[in-house]
Amino acid sequence: MNRLKVLYDRYRCNKDPASYARSLGVKVGEGTRFYGTSPKMFSTEPWVITIGNNCNITDDVLFMTHDAGTLAVENECGRWVIVGDIVLGNNVYVGTRSTILPGVHIGDNSIIGAGSVVTKDIPANVVAAGVPCRVIRSRDEYIEKVKDIKAGKNTRYYSDLEYLHSLDPNNKKGK
């Protein structure tokens, strides 16, 4: 029976991730999209997670709502686990394989780079990345970077997507 529930949860999570998250108690704003979800991404206390409007949550993101490291110090502190809410503002992007730890709030219009471990609050309108996650630039600086790439001013990136796709050996249109 447990195996069937696991399969059913996986199906529901992939079919409609926002609805699945809401069924667990996650507060999910309108227009939020999930890309590559997993039933385990919302940890053991999903009802303390709030995700704002128009957010993009990518593949393998983990919302870790608790710190059970306290079990290693139970002789000194008693058997106790720290649980903290996680709040994402509106228009937040969270990159692939990022982990957001308990008690973290991420401000509106912020971007979290792939593989980040977010251990503390991130202000609004910034790009943050790393382990531990830290602010690396303002959102406006990121917008300028994207515009420069689109204009072909940075040759490390492909600005011509049609050309980029023509390089794909599996692209049947380009042959």
Q: What are phi and psi for residue 164, nearest 5 degrees?
A: -55, -50
Give the up-direction half-sphere exposure of residue 151: CA atoms within 13 A in the CB hemisphere. Answer: 7
**Polymer length of the chain:** 175
Distances (CA, A) of 77 to 29, 45, 67, 80, 82: 37, 22, 14, 7, 11
> In the sheet that 99-100 helps form, which strands lie side by side, from edge to edge?
62-63, 99-100, 117-118
What the block records as the tokens of 100 is 């957001």
Q: Is 66 a catalytic residue?
A: yes
- CA 149, 126, 43: angle at the middle one, nearest 5? 110
Q: Which of 10, 12, 22, 66 is the catalytic position? A: 66
Annotated catalytic residues are 66
